[in-house]
Structure 1
């Protein structure tokens, strides 16, 4: 992952913060970029890759996100809070009562105010580091800036996560989802200090990253592997390109993707040699379940994952600004053009 320019002027916080919807537009009017949903590459495989489990965790995540959004809107209570902000403050869809949305000039995504999101756990560098509220690294992935932001993220998670859970089970996909969300939050906090951020797109990009590493580590057992790889790479590039638009929190996307990519090598490796029927297997032959390169990738990925999290967390809580150590990284979030400026992003 402006929606707050007018709204932020009414808050009493010490820092200027706009809503950073991961995978969505934060400070400009208009709907968020819609995540591109890939074809499920397992469809390119054979019967050995057919689903083994029933997906229930991914739908549960979706339901949880929807429930949290209703809770946020209930707390937001636009009709009540808008009265204290002035007579020119008008809620959208007032027939919804306390669930009505902030006016569109404050939040074009049909959602709550930034003040409500900040109160309920949005990602905010100042509160995470200076106020020692590290729990925001997790809670922010359950919050969304509006109905449009929620719908695009949840639809993408259903399309990507359901098939992965059917293939690998709820434990591994649940770990990838949560760890990728936290990884995206950590990287975002390292580089973005003056806006708040919410959304599950770090977890979403983690699932996307795990799809790529799963395809690579299980390369030999797939048919039509080139078609699957090209399709997946195209989808990843399109989504990353969306992230360089102004006011889109692409650091969350990158952090979630890298975390999921490494976890895919650790958690999603399949046996590379199919087990033969016992009567057809020579007595003196022992089949290897996993190939050596899979063990190497497992060890390297685990080491990089642990090292990355430790270094990033140490830098974050020491108050380091990632932009001081990587001057070109700002282009991951916004590339200035004749159509827009990246000043203040």
Structure 2
């Protein structure tokens, strides 16, 4: 009877108002806790936009020898875009991106410019690239930050972006890579692990899991198109997935609502055993994964030599396009 009473109170079925009664959403329970003010995500958005403006200023298309004055939107002056045949995303030249810190294997490994693993996640190839990533960041990140705070979500964002850069450098050698996609996929991965580790406090569990998996699969599937760095997506997703088990674990429902429940149904343990196991496993995998990845990278090893089919994860050749470049 005590367990049934607790379950009915979780779902708010007894007609009384409890601060942790289930909401009509497949994601979170509504609580009486005050949501954190979101400022990390807006700060990241602002920083990405500011960096893009600086990039366009330095690019200075009208004075770029590669364009012969054939800039798009020339009325913008030095902020005008490269010709579409050079950059169809309405942005700067690849040389400008490389100058400002784009991810490029040779410079990271042989010229000891490891800082590019961080700077690349703040650069974008064009307006279309920037807008797509920033809208996704706001859509995904604001809610997460309100629920878990700026420290945890900011940490997941930054580490996931770094993880995406590491995996990208291990597998891609003949082109540059830029963008916040690795960090964004890290937030998606964290959403999935948060759902799994906090499974007992969710309503409509199957619907929430199915919806999230479909979103993730669609986004990863887009990465097999040419000119999309899916290794950065995968590296960021895996990093965020593991980080979610570490930073986004929630106490059991009964423990959170212990002051409003009768003594016979109170839960004394803050976390379940499986949450501790997932936390420890994720910490170990993160440490080992990053250590192995960085050692391989700075030793100049090619990830494709250890995984001969992995190149299909980033580009699948068809009759319509080639994956050679």
| TM-score, scaled to structure 1 | 0.84
1:39-70 CA-to-partner distances (Å, cap 9, x unmatched) read: xx965433238762111110110011001100
Contact 2:231 2:313 in 1 (8 A): yes
Task: From the superposition, tell whether residues 278 and 42 of structure 1 become closer, same or farther in structure 2 (CA, over 3 Å).
Answer: closer
In structure 1, what is the equivalent of residue 308 of structure 2?
A: 327
> In the alignment, is residue 171 of structure 1 matched against residue 154 of structure 2?
no
> In the alignment, is residue 276 of structure 1 matched against residue 258 of structure 2?
yes
Alignment of 1:283-294 (within 5 A): 287-294=268-275
Task: From the superposition, tell whether residues 104 and 49 of structure 1 become closer, same or farther in structure 2 (CA, over 3 Å).
Answer: farther
CA apart distance, 1:163: 0.3
Contact 1:42 1:49 in 2 (8 A): no
Equivalent of residue 67 in structure 1, options 23, 31, 50: 50
Distance 2:179 2:90 in 1: 14
Distance 1:107 1:246 in 2: 14
Task: From the superposition, tell whether residues 91 and 44 of structure 1 become closer, same or farther in structure 2 (CA, over 3 Å).
Answer: same
Distance 2:27 2:180 in 1: 28
Task: From the superposition, tell whether residues 42 and 120 of structure 1 become closer, same or farther in structure 2 (CA, over 3 Å).
Answer: farther
Q: Over aligned residue pairs, what C-alpha RMSD do you find?
A: 1.8
Range with bigger deviation, 226-235 or 330-339 = 330-339
Distance 1:78 1:143 in 2: 17
> In the alignment, is residue 195 of structure 1 matched against residue 175 of structure 2?
yes
> In the alignment, is residue 53 of structure 1 matched against residue 33 of structure 2?
no
In structure 1, what is the equivalent of residue 297 of structure 2?
A: 316
In structure 1, what is the equivalent of residue 80 of structure 2?
A: 100
Distance 2:246 2:84 in 1: 44
1:55-89 CA-to-partner distances (Å, cap 9, x unmatched) read: 111011001100110000011111112xx3474x4
Contact 2:188 2:240 in 1 (8 A): yes
Alignment of 1:114-263 (within 5 A): 114-263=94-243
Range with bigger deviation, 47-56 or 218-227 = 47-56
> In the alignment, is residue 299 of structure 1 matched against residue 272 of structure 2?
no
Q: Which has the higher contact order (CA 8 A, sep 6+)?
A: 1
Task: From the superposition, tell whether residues 279 and 231 of structure 1 become closer, same or farther in structure 2 (CA, over 3 Å).
Answer: closer
Task: From the superposition, tell whether residues 60 and 245 of structure 1 become closer, same or farther in structure 2 (CA, over 3 Å).
Answer: same
1:175-205 CA-to-partner distances (Å, cap 9, x unmatched) read: 0000000000000000000100000000000
Distance 2:109 2:220 in 1: 27
Task: From the superposition, tell whether residues 259 and 279 of structure 1 become closer, same or farther in structure 2 (CA, over 3 Å).
Answer: closer
Contact 1:51 1:167 in 2 (8 A): no
Distance 1:133 1:45 in 2: 42
Contact 1:266 1:302 in 2 (8 A): yes
Task: From the superposition, tell whether residues 211 and 278 of structure 1 become closer, same or farther in structure 2 (CA, over 3 Å).
Answer: closer
1:126-161 CA-to-partner distances (Å, cap 9, x unmatched) read: 100000000000000000000000000000000000
Contact 2:163 2:239 in 1 (8 A): yes
Distance 1:199 1:178 in 2: 12
Q: Number of aligned residue pairs: give it.
A: 300
Q: What residue ranges of structure 2 are gaps of 5+ in the alignment?
A: 1-23
Distance 1:232 1:258 in 2: 15
